Amino acid sequence: MGINDEIARRRTFGIISHPDAGKTTLTEKLLLFGGAIQQAGAVKSNKIDRHATSDFMEIERQRGISVATSVMGFEYRDIKVNLLDTPGHQDFAEDTYRTLTAVDSAVMVVDCVKGVEAQTEKLMEVCRMRQTPVMAFINKLDREGKDPFDLLDEIEQKLGIAVRPLSWPIGMGKSFKGVYDLFQKKLLLFEPSKVKLSGEVVEIDDLQDERLEKEIGVSEAETLREEVELINGVYPEFDTEEYLRGDLAPVFFGSAVNNFGVRELLDCFIQIAPAPQPRRTGQRQVLPSEPEYSGFVFKIHANMDPKHRNRIAFVRVCSGRFKRGSNYHHVRLDKKLRFSNATAFMAQSKEIIDEAYPGDIIGLYDTGNLKIGDTLTEGEHSLYQGIPSFSPEIFKEVINLDAMKTKQLEKGLRQLMDEGVAQLFTYEMGSRKVVGTVGQLQFEVIQHRLKHEYGASCRFSPVSLYKACWIGGDDQKKVREFVESKYRHIAKDKDGKWVFMAETRAWLQMVEENFPDVKFHLTSEGR
């Protein structure tokens, strides 16, 4: 099979949602339908009986949430599906933003009881910025929720995207009987089952077919006919090109925990979702079909296997063919690296692979050469764009509780920062270390992992800071003068870049006015 055939049969997407919308459960069921697993783990109210396949960190198992992106690959109907399950919790939004740089499309999960929530709106903004095609799955139809038409209106109004339902629920809550697949003209009747595939598919091309009453009842059949007629009158015909441009979201209804509507989502997805797309570097646009390999690091995770202190870089293949054991050019370091161990992921299990194609996510074992945003090529010197660090919301100073474990603490902090868990700022004066995060929960994760993975104990002391601003400017002499004049408030990030630690908004504005030749950036990429 040639490279173009390999590209055409790949679909790489991320699952995004507000916490507790059922994203990880949907991930499990997609794997179940894809044959990648035989039995799913059930996630219930922060207690996990059989651990969810995609949650492999100890703290995730304790809390019942996803705090790190998981990568899973499986084959479904001759299509290679690469699925990235992202953290739903808003405290880990930055990991999700980075993950969205590595996908070609997204599936957005919406809770039918709560509707569109704040985190979903933020994630949709990121998708819109990148013109990422989005499909919506309205979940938990086995519960009494909002009217389906009201949910569609909410998606259009809050997320600013047109919708077209491609499946439709029959009842809701206790009266929920299944879904009618508008895309393939099929009636789907399922028995609720949380761990195995069950159910019956009835081919009904014409909703006037008398068998409809027999299958779902007279009243339900009449309601379904009326609602489908209304859908066809109100919403335009589904246009694949509009979806691929990111202007239209096809919508599916179901109950992931009970396997309602998941197969229909998957069947439609492999038909309409985009194959691997071109990517921009600083110099040009790179096509997937180009013969020379290139890819970028969008995530790093240390200690995925507690028995082996390993460090794995997650790489999105963008062009050409990756070959295990080959030498590749590390653009930032300007040197050649050889990767003899390359892995494909199935959540926490991994397998050695010899080659990978555009759209694939591979894991490269690394000793510290790779960082988030790094580009690997077969010789080209251009870097892929679009993986910034954002100024954190909460800042706390690291207090070492065991002076004998200082080296372990520093190593742990360095590796966790390389993973993008949080950001570390080291003050030039006094070498104080301050960790910046998006949310409070990240400090718990850092503390837990430092203790259990590195044997280092610390506590975090709150620091009154407004923003961390990366410093830049055309006149380097003026930049140096500023750094010298504000020495007590200057820190370096993990990459050695100058950062101004502004204590208040008013002070930052005053400093910007007093030093017009210095640029203050709220993202490291803007610097």
Q: Single out the residue of 281, 290, 261, 504 nearest to residue 378, CA to CA.
A: 290
Beta carbons of 142 and 192 less than 8 angstroms apart: yes
Q: Which CATH class is domain 394-521?
A: alpha beta
Q: State yes or no: pLDDT of 304 exceeds 50.
A: yes
Beta carbons of 155 and 186 less than 8 angstroms apart: no
| Residue 309 identity (one-letter amino acid) | R
Beta carbons of 220 and 170 less than 8 angstroms apart: yes
Q: Which CATH superfamily is domain 279-377 in?
A: P-loop containing nucleotide triphosphate hydrolases (3.40.50.300)
Asked if 3-72+86-272 and 279-377 have one fold, the answer is: yes
For range 208-226, the mean pLDDT: 88
The pLDDT tens digits of the residues spanning 22-62 come to 888 888 888 888 776 655 553 333 333 334 544 445 544 55
Token pair recorded at residue 29: 């069921």
Using the structure block, give the residue that is written with the tokens 């000793």: 367
Q: Model-level pTM greater than 0.75?
A: yes
pLDDT number for residue 375? 95
pLDDT number for residue 193? 57
The pLDDT tens digits of the residues spanning 88-113 come to 545 455 677 788 889 999 999 999 99
Q: Domain map of the chain by residue range?
A: 3-72+86-272, 279-377, 394-521
Q: Which residues of 290-319 are buried (b: 16+ CB within 10 A; e: fewer)?
A: beebbbbbbbbbbbbeeeeeebbbbbbbbb
Question: Where does the pLDDT of residue 128 fall: very low under 50, low under 70, confident under 90, or very high at 90 and above?
Answer: confident
145, HSE (Cβ side, Cα atoms, 13 Å): 26
CATH code for the domain defined by 3-72+86-272: 3.40.50.300
For range 75-81, the mean pLDDT: 92
The dihedral sign for the CA sequence 378, 382, 386, 389: positive
Q: Single out the residue of 77, 73, 76, 32 nearest to residue 50, CA to CA.
A: 32
Q: What backbone torsions phi and psi does residue 210 show, to the nearest 5 degrees?
A: -65, -20
